[in-house]
Amino acid sequence: MWRIAHAVISGLAVGAGSGILANAQSIPCNGIDNCTSPFPNTTYPAAVDPNAVPGAQSGQISPPFYPSPWMDGSGGWDAAYAKAQAFVRQLTLLEKVNLTTGVGWEGDRCVGNTGKIPRLNFTGLCLEDSPVGVRDTDFNTVFPAGVTIAATWDRELFYQRGYGMGDEHKHKGVDIQLGPVVGPLGRAPEAGRNWEGFSPDPVLSGIAVAQTVKGIQDAGVMACTKHYIAYEQEHFRQVTESSGYGYNFTGEYSANLDDKTMHELYLWPFADAVRAGTASIMCVYNNINGSYGCQNSHTLNYLLKGELGFQGFVMTDWGAHHSGVSSALAGLDMSMPGDTAFDSGQSFWGANLTIAVLNGSIPEWRIDDMATRVMAGYYLVGLDKNPIPVNFDAWTTDTYGYLHYIASESYGLINEHVDVRADHGQQARTQAAKGTVLLKNTNNALPLTGKEKLTAVFGDDAGDNPYGPNGCSDRGCDNGTLGMAWGSGTANFPYLITPLTAIQNEVFSNMGAIEDVTDNYAYDQISALARRADQVGGVSLVFVNADSGEGYIVVDTNEGDRNNLTLWRGGAELIANVSSQHNNTVVVMHTVGPVDISSFYDHPNITAIIWAGIPGEQSGNAIADVLYGRVNPGGKLPFTIGKNRPDYGTDVLYRLNNGTDQPQLNFQEGVFIDYRSFDKQGIDPIYEFGYGISYTNFSYSNLKIVGQRANNYVPNAGQTKAAPTLGNFSTDPAGYVFPAGFHEVPLYIYPYLNNSDIKSASNDSDYGEPANEYLPAGSQDGSPQPKIGAGGGPGGNPQLYDVFYTVTADITNTGKVAGDEVPQVYVGLGGPDDPKVVLRGFDRLTIAPGATATFSAELTRRDFSNWDPVSQNWVISNYTKTVYVGSSSRKLPLQQALGGSSNATAGGYGTHAPAHRMF
């Protein structure tokens, strides 16, 4: 049965409670022999009380799913799979373990490093942050943050930025770039890391992440799409971190959500990333429905590797690994940075993984699958050709230092200071300018001419950080202009062009006059300058910001997540002080997300408002391009700006809500976040999702919807092949001890045993405890498995991507200057539980004055489907579907209902042959 004598159950990390087995919380059978898996009869999620309202309940569970699906090379991975298998076949067990386990925090030169395979000259993999550029080094580009590139709504720029970042990682010797981000998605507007990702809308995020992954990987490095999944806030993500802030509790929060919300919202962009071929995925710190993200067999085995057909490998977030055997069986492939806690010198894997394979707790096919997945990603992006050795060091920018930083060993040249930027700075400028959103422009206050009699610039956010652009570690402060928010998702600036510098250059080129006050609290000087600018008919430009970041840094009492939506450093007061004096006040906001603008947005003296996002190193040049009309703004808000904080309908959980137990974060709102929530509640925002104006105007006409022939949906069926095993290994522990004379770097994680008695070599106090000597039912089974109906290829059943309709509309530039417009197509799915409209497509078009361009978008089966938790598949409901086209989620002048839904059977898969519909 599932009892395995001497099973290694690698247990506890700091604060991990008794989460020893994967889904331990969901299998109430500690110490009981009768521990059968409820699969497949459990629908997901199995609410604690079956009569409870569906949705998100405290304490609900995540059903187990075993065995862990093995990769099969489908969906364009076949060549990489074959090469990976050939490589892994040559490996010993110890070498395979080296591919799966990091060497420990600060053990080697990158932020994460796998072990090496010296016998085959394989130097190990270098993993490095971040989603905006290469972190922890110099002579790299700081690209605009995810939220800003999202605001371009431009597929080509998504790709260009991805390629540029990938190229820089490649030339620094990085193998795996730790980005892009689609988790958090943006459930709560205050959540600290939303800006690293793109948008709370899954379709905008999905298109952005797919293009970014392609760009990164085309440049020759592996992407790591993160954080998987439901990591929607910083508070309580890690017990150790939160206890440093005075919270007393024992378990990382559980994000509790239902299956429909999972599929229709949070999983959606991950499906796009998988379909785009992301080589790796990072699992989260938090629990999902009561089970840790890095040992949750439902989210990893069932959803990611089963349903989405993910062919790459899953790595832990740094410190998110909490168990040895359980995580391996639940679908984890790589432990990062490899040690149980930073610099503990111990690992849930490493030697423990070797032992777990030796004693049969982890079947050979599972470690072979881990190693194959890692190497398949490597071959997929071509890292075997033209490898570039690591030429920087993540722990210091000093030229000389220790190769093994924490151990202070092997002194030498560690930073070659390679300039990898090429022309990416120019690209970053264009990207930031195109991601700038014009929200208000009364009487064409903008663009400026550059010949204003007096240009008055206000705000700390216009100028330099007195500590320098990199003066605060990981950008953990809000000093000077906000070019980048804080945390591990950052990079060092090679320069940061401030708005003040760029505007001074502009004014100076016209020999004009410019003065500034960058102290937000210099009230007298602010009033005096604003009054004078008013009297001479000049312009006042007020720069304000709002910052947030990752939970390990607190800025102005904000523990990662923002405490509120107000502007920082007295921004609203600054705006009030300037606008009370000057009737031509322009407000520029650098913010991580929505902010409270209710006190000033409709003030008559405020003639223009711009959201300039988190623009990266070219901040000043990009905003000057827009202010002076070199770039006609065409960005659109990737989120909603509401009037009042409660209007958003979702919030961060700031206080423990379950005693000292795991906080429960219940996603009771289901799929209704951001504009879907405002629409549902009937609340008018100030500026809605998708909104943004231009220096010209556009009109919409001539909607056409043409049905395409698509085959009936056939759920994926049949059986997988049996799990392959690649090579043999001896089960004699004596063959796995440290080689004679081997020099051990202190605190470094190795695959070797320190003696041939595996119980004592494991150093695991749980080892052999009877209560822990079982493994989840089915977890050892390498025989052919039933395929999952909604699966069938990377991203899910390929038929989900069949085109049902082509939508076209004419967009006319009715103004006097050329401009960009982003027509957006939304669908109303029609059911009582559906959002009013959901974004399904968009394009960014450049249109000459007087000209008309044709917008075209394709709508797929997936775009019309809802997730059905009972059949575990996508279905098309009988409700009338409506297609809308317009310039924002609330400005949808063109619409058409799709009639004749008789072909769709309720609750079934329907016979969706749209050509037979009314079009």
Ligand X SMILES: *[C@@H]1O[C@H](CO)[C@@H](O)[C@H](O)[C@H]1NC(C)=O
Distance of closest approach, residue 397 Cβ to ligand X, in angstroms = 22
Q: Convert residues 701-740 into a mask of x (bound to ligand X by CB under 6 A) and - (unbound).
A: ----------------------------------------
Instruction: For residue 774, list its beta bridge partners.
Output: 3
**Smaller CB distance to ligand X: residue 249 or 855?**
249
CB of 401 to ligand X, least distance (A): 18
815 within 8 A of 849, measured Cβ to Cβ: yes
Reference 68, options 263, 303, 338; nearest CA is 303
Site residues for ligand X, 74-113, by CB under 6 A, read 94-95, 98, 103
Q: Quick check: 177 and 224 in contact, CB under 8 A?
A: yes
- With CB under 6 A as the contact rule, the residue among 117, 213, 500, 529 that binds ligand X is 117
Q: Using the rule CB under 6 A, which residue among 351, 485, 542, 829 binds ligand X? A: 351
Q: Using the CB atoms, write b or e for 865-878: b if 16+ within 10 Å.
A: bbbbbeebbbbbbb
Among 762, 785, 813, 866, binds ligand X (CB under 6 A): 762
d(CA 678, CA 645): 12
26 is a site residue for ligand X (CB under 6 A): no
One symbol per residue from 652 to 691: x for binding ligand X (CB under 6 A), - otherwise; what is it? --------x-------------------------------
346 scored as a contact of ligand X (CB under 6 A): yes
Beta carbon of residue 64, minimum distance to ligand X (angstroms, whole number)? 14
Shortest Å, Cβ 177 to ligand X? 21
- 556 belongs to the binding site for ligand X (CB under 6 A): yes
Q: Which of 116, 603, 643, 759 binds ligand X (CB under 6 A)?
A: 116
By Cβ distance, which residue is nearest to ligand X? 115
DSSP letters spanning 683-741: ---SB-TT--B-SS-EEEEEEEEEE---PPP----SBPPPPP--S-----GGGGBPPTT
DSSP string, 46-70: B-SSTTSPSS--TT-B-----SPPP
d(CA 401, CA 406): 11
HSE value, Cβ hemisphere, 13 Å, CA-based, for 108: 26
DSSP secondary structure code for residue 786 in this structure? B
Question: Whole-number minimum distance, CB 108 to ligand X, in Å?
Answer: 7
Residue 917's identity, in one-letter code, is: R
Q: Is residue 350 close enough to count as binding ligand X by CB under 6 A? A: yes
Stretch that binds ligand X, among 476-484, 679-687, 856-864, 903-911 (CB under 6 A): 476-484
Residues facing residue 590 across a β-bridge = 545
Q: List Cβ neighbours of 252 (8 Å cut-off, separation of 6 or more).
A: 15, 236, 237, 238, 239, 285, 286, 287, 292, 662
Task: List, by residue number, the catalytic residues.
Answer: 317
**Interacting positions 737-756 with ligand X (CB under 6 A):** 751
Contact 704, 907 (CB under 8 A): no
Rounded least distance, CB 530 to ligand X, Å: 22
Secondary element (H or E) of residue 528:
helix 523-535
First to last CA, the chain: 58
Identify which of residues 466 and 907 has a Cβ nearer to ligand X in the complex.
466
Binding-site member from 3, 14, 30, 40 for ligand X (CB under 6 A): 40
- For CA atoms 770, 771, 777, 780, give the dihedral sign: negative
Q: Which residues pair with 133 in a beta bridge?
A: 131
- Cβ proximity to ligand X: between 466 and 899 the closer is 466
Q: Does 763 bind ligand X (CB under 6 A)?
A: yes
Q: Specify which residues 577 forms β-bridges with.
A: none
**How many residues in total does the chain contain?**
919
> Which segment (128-136, 263-271, 729-737, 762-770) binds ligand X by CB under 6 A?
762-770
8 Å CB contact between 558 and 477: no
Maximum C-alpha span of the chain: 89
Closest to 111 (Cα-Cα) out of 333, 389, 396, 398: 396
- Of the pair 695, 736, the CB lying nearest ligand X is at 736
Residue 233 makes contact with ligand X by CB under 6 A: no
Per CB under 6 A, which region of 233-241, 471-479, 537-545, 867-875 contacts ligand X?
Answer: 471-479
- Tell me which of 4, 7, 10, 493 binds ligand X, using CB under 6 A: 10
Instruction: Confirm if 854 and 813 have CB atoms less than 8 A apart.
Output: no
Task: Out of 30, 53, 82, 248, name the contact with ligand X by CB under 6 A.
Answer: 248
CB of 390 to ligand X, least distance (A): 13
User: Which residue among 81, 198, 231, 348 contacts ligand X (CB under 6 A)?
Assistant: 348
Q: Is residue 479 near ligand X by the rule CB under 6 A?
A: yes
By the rule CB under 6 A, 118 interacts with ligand X: yes
Q: Is 121 in the site for ligand X (CB under 6 A)?
A: yes
**Site for ligand X contains 347 (CB under 6 A):** yes
Minimum distance between the CB of residue 355 and ligand X, rounded to whole angstroms?
8
Q: What is the CA radius of gyration of the chain?
A: 27
Stretch 450-469: interaction string toward ligand X, x if CB under 6 A: ----------------x---
What is the closest distance, in whole angstroms, from the C-beta atom of residue 766 to ligand X in the complex? 6
Subset of 52-81 contacting ligand X (CB under 6 A): none
Range in contact with ligand X (rule: CB under 6 A) among 151-159, 350-358, 487-495, 710-718: 350-358
Q: Which residues contact 919 (CB under 8 A, 6 or more apart)?
A: 705, 706, 707, 805, 898
Nearer to ligand X, 421 or 569 (CB): 569
Cα–Cα dist 32/777, whole Å: 13
Nearest approach, Cβ of 662 to ligand X (angstroms)? 12
Give backbone dihedrals phi and psi of 524, rounded to 5 degrees, phi first: -65, -45
Number of residues that bind ligand X (CB under 6 A): 36
Q: How far is the CB of 675 from ligand X (least distance, A)?
A: 31
Q: Is 422 among the residues that bind ligand X (CB under 6 A)? A: no
Q: What is the β-pairing status of strands 881-886 and 280-283? A: unpaired
Work out which of 64, 115, 616, 796 binds ligand X, going by CB under 6 A.
115
Region at 23 (left for phi over 0; alpha for psi -120 to 50; beta for the rest): left
Closest CA to 706 of 495, 859, 911: 859
- Which residues of this protein are in contact with ligand X, per CB under 6 A? 10-11, 34, 40-41, 94-95, 98, 103, 115-118, 120-121, 124, 248, 324, 340, 346-348, 350-352, 466, 477-479, 555-556, 660, 751, 762-764
